[in-house]
Structure 1
Amino acid sequence: MASVAAQYLPILLFLGVALGLSLLFVIAPIIASKFTGADRPYAEKLTEYECGFPAFEDSRSQFDVRFYLVAILFIVFDLEAAFLFPWAVTLDTTGWLGWGAMMVFLAELALGLAYAWKKGALEWE
């Protein structure tokens, strides 16, 4: 029984260290902000910094769904590029099966692009 418990000791040590470090990384910045004064906001600190002018409407206003569609399409085609590079590098080892699998993948993406184009997701007014 003691040997089984000894086998789990490294896992428990790892979990203890991980828990300790994650608590440290959460609590240490809070304590540091108390000492540095970062938790006391003032008017200049609360001003707009992204665009340079005050917001002109409610921040909870709804966005057009096309913003999200463009973002999703960007992610899809960005992932396509991320899959194409390793495929091209290993094409000599994967052979015709790897080539066929990538052609099926590209055909699915082309069908998705055609569908989005037909539905007008790429049109901007």
Structure 2
Amino acid sequence: MNWNTLTTIAQLETIVNTQSFNEPILIFKHSTRCSISSASLSRVERNWKEGDNSKIQPYYLDLLEHRDISNHIVTLTGLEHASPQVLIIKDGKCLYNASHSDIRYDDIMDKI
């Protein structure tokens, strides 16, 4: 799986306001200190298939380093912060979000 790393608020703005109008976006908000977050990330990565990046662009957000970006996601989407959390963004809107053990590869792929 080839993650794009989300590192700036400006990058997030471009992803939501421009890129998501061309292709669906997956944002995985990950806490590197949380075992539940690590397990959820691992489940997604184990199930990711070659070619999935052509269906949805995956972005990885390290919450410990970039909490400001997570806070901005709350502002843009109106969703409550969770960790771990996945969001699918399309046409500037969040179509799907899940957190903790509700993060499942099949659910993600069903939503795109």
* TM beyond 0.5: no
Q: Which has the larger radius of gyration?
A: 1
Structure with the higher fraction of residues in strand conformation: 2
Q: With a CA cutoff of 8 Å and minimum separation of 6, indicate the structure with the bigger relative contact order.
A: 2
What TM-score comes out, normalization by structure 1 length? Answer: 0.19
